[in-house]
Structure 1
Amino acid sequence: MSNKVKLIMLAFLMIPIVSCKEDFLERTPTDAISAADALASVENMQLVLNGVHRGLYSQSQTVFPGGSTARANNHYWVPLGDNLVGTLIHTANANNLSWRSAMQWNEHTIQTSLTTELMWYHRYNIILHANLLINGIASSGFTETAALNEILGQAYTYRAYAYLELVQHYGRGYLIGNPSSDPGVPLLFSSESPFTSEPRSTVQEIYDQVEADLNAAITAFENGTGRSGSGAASKAQLNINVAHGLKARWALSKGDWSTAAASAVAARDGFPLLNESAWLSGFATNTLSEVIWGSHVIEAETTFFRAYFYLASNTFNGSQIRNNPKAADRRLVDAIPSTDYRGQVFLPDAPNSNTSAANGEGGWANNTNPLYTTEAEFDAAIAAIKGEYGLVSGHNTHPYMHFKLKQANPGTIDPDDVIYMRSSEMYLIEAEAKLMMNDLAGAKDALAPLASARDTAWDADAFGTEDSFMDHLKFQWRLEMWGEGFGYKNHIRWDEGVDHAANGGSGASEVLYQQSYQIDRPSINDDWIFKIPQSEINANPNLGSSDQN
């Protein structure tokens, strides 16, 4: 593998990484023990896992040295899925952490960008750590125990997660391509230098590997201890529900509808739907009943102005948000029934207080909202929003701004958890899978618990055809999972482009969005596929210029 990928050395709840470069391999960090010692006991292997848990959300150089302070891993990768497809709408010109450049499709389409390089770097580091545990346990001679199986289950799940993430970003979508021949990503099974990998495997081969790893994980978990502890920290550990949830995602993305439906049901077992007050509370903690998996961000590992909520939550006290409040597509918001409480998190009538707003309509002098007939009313509405949501004086407001994602301590830079998987997603997966099997009644039954819990007037009989129900199901995906990063993969699975101008417009500024204002659907536009980092092509003897996407 590339010299960008690192070998594990273990330290207390942290994994300093040894580079593949020979001069660095000759030195051992004084605060680290050898990889062999990391496998000497179940307790040490758990420390390796703890390091991977932290590596999901740390600034990339902290746990996986060699990265960059400009990305805090899943803090960036999760909302990126909605940033790329215009779900998370920018209202002003702010480019901290290249967030605007990513929105304009000037990051993942460039092989030398940090976005392409660090996502690749991060996911392969997860694979290396998983390989260390999987290979080490296989050769260790340890007696099989429930604790050992729990570690093995998490290692297989992590490897499956990383490969699925890689192939869904750096390969063509399974359902819109030819997976048996489309190039995927290199397979890597080694855990020791020189980290040689195969050339790019096909999309199908990567999907097969993900399936094998998830099946192995589920078997191990069935003989494991189950999650330890309780509360937000326990949900940072992977378990059998997470493996089933990833299998549901894997199956949905490849059109294995029966597996997707069954796995989704298994994944959500024990994770009841949120009630209204919990859904409206801000999605800042793993303790929410629906959360199957998420990173528990400890205070000592805060990422400050690299956080998910810095990029996506309008309560965060950072310039990316203060100057550029994030809004929702007004076509989505306007379609929310008054009986659906999820509409409460969007403020279509919020005054446009930003005189630098991208649409040129900021400030009282440019006000066009007939609700505000005087400047005093305009200012009072701004003050009321700031007071209700804990914003500071520098925060701007904007029509259709959201407050779905809210910090536990609004108006601060305090860390919050990063949620990866909720049971709501599993209801949506089951419903979509059944609809794709031409089971309209079954799809309605699958969606009903979720939709009726959110909307007191929801009526399954309102959708008489598969096409009308599919349109409604897409609406439910977009509303329920708004801001949680599902937009990019949904667009690829549904083969949908981006069109901010259609049907009355999204509210995004064409001047600001530039080439990403209208984007052809994935099946005819290869720009949906992330570029392979040029540094990887330069360093990996199994890749050449012809391998570039």
Structure 2
Amino acid sequence: MKMKYIKYCLLAASISLGSCSSEYLDTLPTNETSPDTAFGSTANVKMAINGIAKIMTTQHLSSQGFNGEGTIKMYYGEYPGANFRVDLAGWAVIINGQYYENINSIYNYYPWHYYYMIISNANEIVARIDGVDGPVTEKQYLKAQALSYRAYAYTMLVQLYGYSWDKSQNGEFKALPLRLTPDQDKDLPLSSMKDVYATIYDDLDEAINLFTQANYTRKANYEIDASVAHAIYARAALNKQDYPKAQAEAAMARAAYPLMSVADYKKGFSNPTGEWIWSSYGASDEQLYYYSYFAYIGYNSNASAVRNYPKRISKEFFETIPNTDIRKGLFLDPTGYDASTYNATTGVAKNGSPMDQYVRDNYEFQSNAKVAAYMQLKIKNNDNPGVGNMNHFRSSEMVLIEAEAKLHTEGPAAAKAMLAELNKDRDPNYDANAVADAKVFDEIVKYRGLELWGEGFDWFDHKRWNKAIVRKSVEEGGNYNVSLAKTIEPTQGNNWTWKTPSKESDFNDALE
């Protein structure tokens, strides 16, 4: 299967963010397709929609590290979190959250560039699709997909460049310019978080209505349908602390996606299962090689980012997982191995030692890759150096959203029922009723951390909860490099909120 798409950044010569003379948010390629071609028929718009999907797995800003959504998951969601260990002391400024106020940093700018590229292309489709030749139902579901992409992009942006909701003065914090049409003036003030979320809600309401009218059934997991729109809605509503809406949308999102079996759980998280709601397509003939998400995390990758820097769960978090939980087996437990056979500080096993040999005997593994205590064995690639389908929404996340929402709307018993549903096949000994009512929130925190590990949620969740990130060094009973073993309070670094990039303020005269 090869994904057919019009090159992702070619939809119009007048894309609102690509019209300035500088390179700021330049969305026009050297070899561009004209708008007349892109919007000549619904068949072409289908390829343009696939082009937006392709943005999510494409190299950006001429930097090998910026690979679309995978970079958001790793650099912004996992590296700076509390449960994900990577031995990159040279990345301390990112991992320890020291760049939120550095408006000239490329790390400050990347998410802005990436998500506004998605928004710009979605805006073109939303604005033009009604006038395209083709069946009405096709125009409806194509517009619905574009609206959903735009809503998703704003949902991610507002988490990065906006305060957590309970610090936002009920959404009055000014976070983002709302760019909604191709012909908008480039000079736009920052809109409030309240207005950004209102736009997200409006886009998703319209998208769901259009999907329903079109009676659309998607052909592949990388396409967006009504279930994906509901999932985006659930995540956005949870971030906004709109718990009734989050609860309702999560239930609708997962209705057709039962939780995966134990067998599917152990297959490597690189191909859609019955519980994957939305993912990005990945194949050997359409890959980013050493720059992809899987080349940074897939335990069997031959990329140096994996071979030399195996990704691990934090020791103190790992030790909270019951031994009967299948998810504990997705990480290399050093228990029972002679401590002299692996480095106590780095966790790296000696070549040929029992722990080293165990991994090589039981998993696809590169002969020159390091084996380390607590390394992840959850996510693997389908082909080297980094091929795989990248998940964005699973029904497990929706169950966890329902659990958190119900804790606020219905109380501890309802939240426990959701935790019991999540863990029924993951841990045969799990007893949600044994959790004290006062500890249910902590239980949700724990099982979000475990269930969604490595999938890009850790930092976002800690910010949303205003919960400190605590990492311990080996000497303190943890397994982090001493330069990364920090306690980072949510009040630090502009409340963990990335400031508006200088490239935006240089381009946008409405910003002071």
TM-score, normalization by structure 1: 0.84
Cα separation, 1, equivalents of 2:368 and 2:499: 37
The partner residue of 2:440 within 457, 465, 469 is 469
Instruction: Give the length in aligned residue pairs.
Output: 496
> What secondary structure is seen at the aligned counterpart in 2 of 1:325?
coil
Of residues 164, 168, 192 in structure 2, which corresponds to 1:177?
A: 168
- Residue 256 (structure 1) aligns with: 242
CA gap of 1:363–1:214, structure 2 versus 1, over 3 A, is: closer
Matches within 5 A, 1:103-252: 103-138=95-130, 140=131, 145-192=136-183, 196-229=186-219, 234-252=220-238
Partner of 1:275: 261
In the alignment, which residue of structure 1 is the partner of 2:78? 82
Q: Please say if residues 57 and 67 of structure 2, whose CA atoms lie closer than 8 Å, have aligned partners that are also in contact.
A: yes
Cα distance in 2 for residues equivalent to 1:439 and 1:352: 46
Q: 1:13 to 1:360 in 2, by over 3 A?
A: closer
Distance of aligned partners of 1:86 and 1:470 in 2 relative to their CA distance in 1, 3 Å threshold: closer
RMSD over equivalenced CA pairs, Å: 2.9
Change (3 A) 1:281 1:100: farther
Residue of structure 2 equivalent to 1:20: 19
Note if contact 1:188-1:197 (Cα within 8 Å) is conserved in structure 2.
no
**Structure-2 separation of matches of 1:328 and 1:142:** 52
Asked whether the equivalents of residues 92 and 356 of structure 1 are also in contact (C-alpha less than 8 Å), the reply is no
Q: 1:285 aligned to 240, 255, 271, which one?
A: 271
- The 8 Å contact of residues 329 and 400 in structure 1, kept in 2 or not, is answered as yes
1:39 to 1:405, Cα distance in 2 relative to 1, 3 A = same
How far 1:505 moved relative to its partner?
A: 4.2
Unaligned stretches of 5+ residues in structure 1: 1-10, 62-66, 365-375, 545-549
- Contact between 2:349 and 2:355, CA under 8 Å: does it hold in 1? no
Q: Which residue of 2 aligns with 1:530?
A: 498
d(CA) in 2 for partners of 1:492, 1:539: 29
Separation in 1 of the partners of 2:461 and 2:57? 23
Report SS of the residue matched to 2:191.
strand
Moved more, 354-363 or 434-443: 354-363
1:361-419 superposed Cα distances (whole Å, 9 cap, x missing partner): 6565xxxxxxxxxxx9x62331231232222222112211111112234xx31411111
- Segments of structure 2 that go 5 or more residues without pairing to the other structure are none
CA distance in 2, matches of 1:130, 1:420: 18
CA distance in 2, matches of 1:352, 1:149: 62
2:282 paired residue number: 297
Measured after TM superposition, the shift of residue 537 of structure 1 is 1.4
- The answer on whether the counterparts of 2:234 and 2:249 sit within 8 Å (CA) in structure 1 is yes
* 1:419 alignment partner, SS class: strand
Match of 1:7 in 2: none
Query: 244-253 or 345-354, which moves further after superposition?
Result: 345-354
Distance in 2, Cα, partners of 1:325 & 1:91? 8
* Cα distance change of structure 1 residues 400 and 200 upon mapping to structure 2, 3 Å threshold: same
Do structure 1's residue 382 and structure 2's residue 356 form an aligned pair? yes
Q: CA separation in 2, counterparts of 1:247 and 1:510?
A: 39
- 1:163 maps to amino acid: Y
8 A contact 1:353–1:398 mirrored in 2: no
1:475, 1:543 → 2: CA distance?
40
Query: Which whole-Å CA distance do the structure 2 matches of 1:305 and 1:255 have between them?
Result: 38
Write the distance in 2 (CA, Å) between the matches of 1:396 and 1:113.
32
Change in CA separation of 1:208 and 1:83 when aligned onto 2, cut-off 3 Å: same
Q: Residues 131-163 of structure 1: CA distance to partner in whole angstroms, max 9, x if unpaired? A: 11111135x286872211110110110111111
The equivalent of 2:449 in structure 1 is 478
Provide the C-alpha distance between the structure 2 equivalents of 1:202 and 1:352, rounded to a whole number of angstroms.
56
2:487 maps to which of 518, 524, 528? 518
Q: 2:425 is paired with a residue of what secondary structure? A: helix
